Amino acid sequence: MKKLKPATYKKWAKLAQKELRGKSVEDLVRNYGELNVRPAYFSKDTPKTTSSDMPGVAPFTRGIRASMYANRPWTIRQYAGFSNAKESNEFYRAGLEAGQKGLSIAFDLATHRGYDSDHARVTGDVGKAGVAIDSVEDMKELFNNIPLDEMSVSMTMNGAVIPTLAMFIVAAQEQGVKTEQLSGTIQNDILKEFMVRNTYIYPPKPSMRIVGDIIAFTAEKMPKFNSVSISGYHMHEAGASAVQELAFTLADGMEYVRLAQKNGLNIDDFAPRLSFFFGIGMNFFVEIAKLRAARFLWANIMDDLGAKNPKSKMLRTHCQTSGVSLTEQDPYNNIVRTAFEAMSAVLGGTQSLHTNSFDEAIALPTDFSSRIARNTQLIMQHETGVADVVDPLAGSYYIENLTEQLIAQAGEIIEQVEQNGGMTKAVIEGLPKRQIEEAAALRQTRVDKGEDVIVGVNRFVLPQEEELITRKIDNEKVRKEQIAKIKKLKKSRNQAQVDEALTALKECAAMNEGNLLEAAILAAKSRATLGEISLAMEDVFSRFSAKPEVISGVYDEQYKDDPQYIELEKRIVDFEKKRGKKPSIFIAKMGQDGHDRGAKIIATAFADMGFLVHFGALFETAKEVANHVKEMEVDAVGVSSLTAGHKVLVPELIDCLKKYNLDNVQVIVGGVIPADDYQFLFDKGVSEIFGPGTNVLEAAFSVLNRIEGRLSNK
């Protein structure tokens, strides 16, 4: 593995805080989570390393172009997709007509995980939280009347990246667009999937081969297309601090660059098409400084890795306002939160931006909420004047000091990761995942205790929430439609051609020769489905399953003197004395939703409080969860649902429990659930529902009350 030049490390080391010198990478990640912020800053606090930089010149701290938005504003993108290709296409075209400049495609979780819509494991996922894509025909319908030679298309896809990109290329070709004309981005960032988002399919090693094959194919045949979007956003959403997000994202980027170099590519042939993706949270000035620091660090990293072309050293980034900062309570406050976050991204120098809709902590956005989100950017571009000046906060004592701190702290973590064998090794060992989960749990304790104020959640709370109109997706209807289309496709295609193409793809995977994307394009042309293409590679690579782990000690440390916490611990001890066992709960993630931040926080907190906690594997079916509940004889099962599968999966689970005569097991549901779905779930037998922003300690009291039988079912 090629090491960075010592000179760069010396530069970072001079900036790093002396008291952390010599500590392990785990200590560094843990202790570097908080920045040193003082009430006032002066000229002596401003470093010369960044404030004197010229915009458009390496290391690009002040921006990747000399004129920035004065010459060309950032691209307005709205990440969206739902139901089927036809409905999503209509939504995209309406957005483009209203001022949106690029498309960002959200795929449903069945697609992400490489399953066709007719697969038994995806009954509650089809068309939810994204658009269902099973074949080239769906992809063609998705971009109907959208000229792909003119439109930049960004696709958030990692697990099933090979069939998805192959189908996009074939759909464009059949639209009459040459492959070299396509512009946009494919995320193709698998390392962060193993850290936080979990929409992986194959083990790390073959997954990295896939990344390399896509970089190679696009470098040769798609010169306008970004082959990797290295994503810190999902780390941000999982609870990473700004320093963690910055360090781990850039370390991922280094790993992809080395992979391409190892495969024989010249760094300057592919690096100009690498891009990044950061989450933007509510710490306004820190988020601005984060983007400035990212550009500085990346320019130095690429210089050390051998880049000569200035474009190879530019960190170009898309940003998205934070989803985790959105609240279910008093949701119109989210409009204000998103506007501040969007302004932060723009002042930090992003190249494109998605603004979240205010209702996304409750359901998929409506046309009304999407219009407000889109207009937030239009108002910034046309009414505020922020696009008139390059890096308008440059020279601010505070901003420059924050930028320096982020450079120092993230740089030190990157150095330690490098010295310990690189990011792939760190991901396999689980270091980033553990530390991000610890940061998330710490953040939740501060919110629960009121140390971090969230307006409408733990301060200035409404006495009664207004009813909100939300978008509804008929999952069963969409799935039936998709299954019918799959059956029609399979009847009309030349099966011999399909079999030949899939066999060739398997051989490409098994022999470790040839390009997987090239082989998949031929399979997609023959009308092999997304699931068939994924399965062909799975037969060779296998399907990866992560071992669930839960951190401990965070809540004990933060709540050790809290009277309510002590009372809860005492009640649990009394429970154990009376019944001979601790109150027990099984935390379940059903369907293909891999977002486990909330589930992990609950598991950590409840275990610290004294509950016996079992954390299930990701992606289980209702029957599999019911079997665990039966075997473990738990008192309650907690279902985490973030992708609108609750109306299908939770009733399935309750039916399974009834078949096992486990009606006494309390079923608790938490996550993104519209208020008008609550009664449906209560009627099905759910005991408690906890939405985003729920105080974890209060939730624990409620669950214990249910287990003890203190409350009757609703």
Residues annotated catalytic, as ranges: 79, 233-234, 589, 593, 595
Q: At what angle do helices 530-541 and 516-525 cross, to 10 degrees?
A: 140
Q: Which two tokens stand for residue 331?
A: 């949701």
Q: Is 184 helix (H, G, I), strand (E, B) or coil?
A: strand
**Residue 504 and residue 511 in contact, taking contact as beta carbons nearer than 8 Å:** no
d(C-alpha 387, C-alpha 68), whole Å: 8
d(C-alpha 614, C-alpha 624), whole Å: 14
Number of residues that this document lists for the chain: 714
Beta strands, E only, 202-355:
225-226, 228-231, 274-280, 317-321, 352-354
- CB within 8 Å of 243: residues ≥ 6 apart: 32, 33, 35, 406, 409, 410, 413
Dihedral sign for Cα 520, 524, 526, 529, please: positive
Interior CA angle at 11 toward 7 and 16, to 5°? 140
The β-bridge relationship of strands 102-105 and 75-80 is parallel
DSSP per-residue letters across 464-520: SPPP-------HHHHHHHHHHHHHHHHHHS-HHHHHHHHHHHHHHHHHT-S-HHHHH
Which residue type, as a one-letter code, is found at position 82?
A: F
Q: Which two tokens stand for residue 215?
A: 């970089």
DSSP per-residue letters across 197-221: I----S-HHHHHHHHHHHHHHHHHH
CA atoms within 13 A on the CB side of 223: 5
d(C-alpha 710, C-alpha 285), whole Å: 47
Question: Within a 10 A sphere around the Cβ of 399, how many other Cβ atoms?
Answer: 24
Question: Within a 10 A sphere around the Cβ of 453, how many other Cβ atoms?
Answer: 11
**Residue 287 and residue 247 in contact, taking contact as beta carbons nearer than 8 Å:** no
d(C-alpha 567, C-alpha 604), whole Å: 18
E strand or H helix that includes residue 689: strand 688-690
The β-bridge relationship of strands 636-641 and 666-671 is parallel
Q: Is 17 helix (H, G, I), strand (E, B) or coil?
A: coil
- CB within 8 Å of 355: residues ≥ 6 apart: 78, 320, 321, 338, 339, 341, 342, 373, 374, 376, 377
d(C-alpha 187, C-alpha 234), whole Å: 12
Q: Which two tokens stand for residue 31?
A: 């202790």
Q: Is 22 helix (H, G, I), strand (E, B) or coil?
A: coil
Query: Residue-wise over 111-130: b if at least 16 C-beta within 10 A, else e?
Result: bbbbbbbbbebbbbbbbbbb
Q: What is the DSSP letter of 282?
A: S
Torsion angle, CA of 566/570/572/574, rounded to 10 degrees?
Answer: 180
Among candidate residues 230, 224, 270, 221, the one with its CA nearest the CA of residue 249: 230
d(C-alpha 693, C-alpha 479), whole Å: 31
Q: What is the DSSP letter of 193?
A: I
d(C-alpha 509, C-alpha 507), whole Å: 5
